[in-house]
A and B are shown apart, each in its own frame.
Chain A
């Protein structure tokens, strides 16, 4: 299995002493096996209050109609579509981690893919609620699908990106769910085999009768690889199609060919920020510091930096093209982002997404848990404002000045948004309570090659280049889960 050793200059992916396969199972299943702690209950109470607010606000919308939102004739899309795109974007990081990083054989994905995929699923659920909410008559939601009807049949229009979006989002959700659930089977079996009574029965049903025999694993690996292979273009197609909802219109500020790559980069950017927001807290509350290490945090920060910079280049390109196109309306739209009545939203967008992200160039920022968490919140806010600016600021002043208007959200708009965050966190907290929040089987694969103790054993054996060993020890200083004194003692010896 591990006939060769991994290079010592690679950071460990599992830290801690006396890590055994049994200890990994126990550590990861601790929140599942035991009653939740106070932090979980506080979080769950707040989140479910938010979810209640969502139920109330959405019921209000369905009862009184879309008129209860702040929309008007000029700004017909506002908070709901902003929320929709924001949530879909957040979902993208989960698929990137589980699919794209699997194809690139990035082993560090093993301990974060499960929770990131869960995040994807909950985020897409939240996104879908906005679409259904905006229909006004949700009982007619089935009409988005090409179903035979008594009007002809009059079919849905497959020339429209809105229909492409129906197909993209529904496929994305169901394929992500299949991918996530297939990966959960071995871990459900682990819980099943160590519990008794009703718990065992429930997890037995969930585990589909998984045994871990040779053929099962062999097929499981083929399925994972192919699902990763098809999810990769799928996730890119989803935000491409979301961007086409805008890009195929004739609206200044929307009608640009750069939108697909720009939206995909922005989606991954915001998604990683949300993963960071969730995992920095989760690892602390669930005591998973040994599995979600500083290397994971720093790697995610690097991805945030790269995608944030791609988004920055896209912003600059938009400005240049607006200037270079010579189109008056296009030029005004982009000027309006700074000098119009929504200048503050523009500042939030450009400030949070470009300027703040550039701090990630500094290793000290990338490896500081507090700063990483703060910046992840900043990015979440910035990316919400990006969608708000693109949607509302472009719409509110386009061609005819007599139609210019302002958009002011009502309490219903605000409550639906805050409520959807509540729904998301309620789902996530239930997930970490009842599901293995880290892919146990996949993490076990790392013990012999990429764990701190395996590397320490290599150092103790002493056949390594001392320069490389020094380099390795220096990288460990940033880890909050490594006792650095162990290595100093070692040096004296």
Chain B
């Protein structure tokens, strides 16, 4: 029984890596994840990753921000302490627009980004779960869960044929843990 936990195919070119994904999928080898140093368009479609719903979250946060500050300003200037400024109406909607706009943007930005951090488990101090150290530099890494995916040599051959420059059989899932 081999102690390999994950098989990594390291590519030095994003196009070769895409080719590698196709080859693996043609051979019905499930892909655990792909790690790249830059955003490569098209992988998510190949791996069947659903479109992100962060846009909806952003919209909802924006609505929340705009409503919050508009209600607050209404409370301050119309309800709690209406001021008589030359007899003009206290509920001066045009004057409320700048603050409403700014908080719409503020809530959208913070709400969406924090949702992104939460959903992706990003926060300061999180132990990085790195499978290969060069995946943030110059290697495009396809990771395959070795468990149940046998024989390993076949996977190695498929990756090699697709143009992988290096194939690793890692005994540990994450190399970044000490």
Contact = CB atoms under 8 A, between A and B. Distances in A.
Contacts of B18: 1
A175 B39 contact: no
6 contacts: A1-B14, A193-B133, A213-B35, A222-B54, A226-B54, A444-B37
Nearest to B36: A212
A153 B106 CA distance: 25
Interface string A435-465: 0000011101100100000000000000000
A146 B72 contact: yes
B103 A212 contact: no
A208 interface: yes
Interface in A94-114: none
Interface residues of B, number: 68
B15 A207 contact: no
A168 interface: yes
Interface of A: 1-2, 20-22, 25, 146, 152-159, 161, 163-164, 167-168, 171, 174-175, 178-179, 182, 185-186, 189-190, 192-194, 204-223, 226-227, 230-231, 233-234, 237, 241, 440-442, 444-445, 448
Contact of B37 (A21, A163, A178, A205): A21
Nearest to A186: B136
Contacts of B73: 158
Given A1-B41, A214-B34, A231-B109, 4 more contacts: A186-B136, A193-B133, A193-B136, A448-B14
Interface in B132-178: 133-138, 176
Contacts of B1: none
B52 A219 contact: yes
Interface in B39-90: 39-44, 47, 49, 52, 54-55, 58, 62, 72-73, 76-77, 80-81, 83, 85
Contacts of A206: 124
B126 interface: yes
Nearest to A175: B109
Given A208-B123, A215-B120, A219-B54, A178 B44 contact: no
Contact of B127 (A209, A219, A448): A209
A143 to B, nearest CB: 14
Interface in B82-137: 83, 85, 92, 95-96, 98-99, 101-103, 105-106, 108-110, 112-113, 116-117, 119-131, 133-137
B60 to A, nearest CB: 12
Contact of B136 (A158, A179, A212): A212
A219 B58 CA distance: 12
A441 B38 contact: yes
Contact of B105 (A1, A212, A233): A233
Contacts of B95: 158-159
